[in-house]
Structure 1
Amino acid sequence: MKQPTNVVGKLYEVERRAYHGARPGFRIAEIQIGPTQMIPWHFYTEAQDTFYVISGTIRVLARQPKEEVSLTAGMTYSVRPGRPHLVANAGDTSAEFLVLQGMGEHDFVPLT
């Protein structure tokens, strides 16, 4: 397992990323991923990820326990702190979604 990092933008590519409402221990990330893009396996030690899909379809895969969820516009899904997960575009067009991250440090811990 790799060490935690806060330099998320250098670990994987997305079409667009913006942060809104950032406060200590909480932030909202707006992310757009193309049809072949994904956010690789990772977890946060303290922060929960809650996904809200704006457009397109994303697939969230999680471990501990193993789970796979497809989300379309208007749907939400939460991943508890410490639970490994990845997010992939599950469609033929770009997918746009919000990620509410908190409460706690955003220490993106990539898995190998």
Structure 2
Amino acid sequence: MKQGQPVRDASHLYDVERRAEHATRPGFRITELQLSPTQKVPWHTHSNISDTFYVLEGQMRLFLQEPKEDVHLKPGEVYVVRPTRPHLVTNGGTTSLTFLVLQGVGEYDFVPLASR
């Protein structure tokens, strides 16, 4: 995968049904995202922060590299992606997926990745 330029706000890079910021402070933030069955958060990584995913409603399918992994999460389940690990978030079900992503501790960036 080829790395793009890091961005501070990735909201323009992919569409979601809903996006809400619940907490933002230096080095940490909590965002709620809602994805339709056809939406996804494209392949990316973060330079300094981990992503902690917590599923509220629906089914999440998380694809990861380094090492390659395919994770399925349902409501109440949590998964942590370490900094620099490439990942892609998809809706693994037929209804909307709603989840929280806790990001930190450190400076946030979103580094888009493209397949070679």
TM-score by length of 2: 0.95
Counterpart for residue 21 of structure 1 = 23
Q: Which runs of 4+ in 1 moved over 3 A?
A: none
Instruction: Extract unaligned runs of 5+ from structure 1.
Output: none
Partners of 2:32 and 2:60 in 1: how far apart?
Answer: 14
Q: How does 1:35-74 map to 2 (within 5 A)?
A: 35-74=37-76
Partners of 1:104 and 1:68 in 2: how far apart?
Answer: 26
Query: 2:61·2:90 contact (CA, 8 Å) conserved in 1?
Result: yes
Structure 1 residue 45, shift from structure 2 partner: 0.4
Q: What percent identity do the matched residue pairs reach? A: 56
Structure 1 residue 7, shift from structure 2 partner: 2.4
Q: Per-residue displacement from partner, 1:38-95 (whole Å, max 9, x unpaired)?
A: 0000000001000000000010111000011000000000000000001000000000
How many aligned positions are there? 112
Determine helix, strand or coil for the equivalent of 1:98: strand
Counterpart for residue 109 of structure 1 = 111
Q: 2:95 is matched with which residue: 71, 93, 96?
A: 93
**Root mean square deviation of aligned Cα:** 0.6
Partners of 1:105 and 1:63 in 2: how far apart?
Answer: 22
Structure 1 residue 20, shift from structure 2 partner: 1.3
Structure 1 residue 36, shift from structure 2 partner: 0.2
Partners of 1:68 and 1:103 in 2: how far apart?
Answer: 25
Partners of 1:104 and 1:20 in 2: how far apart?
Answer: 17
TM-score by length of 1: 0.98
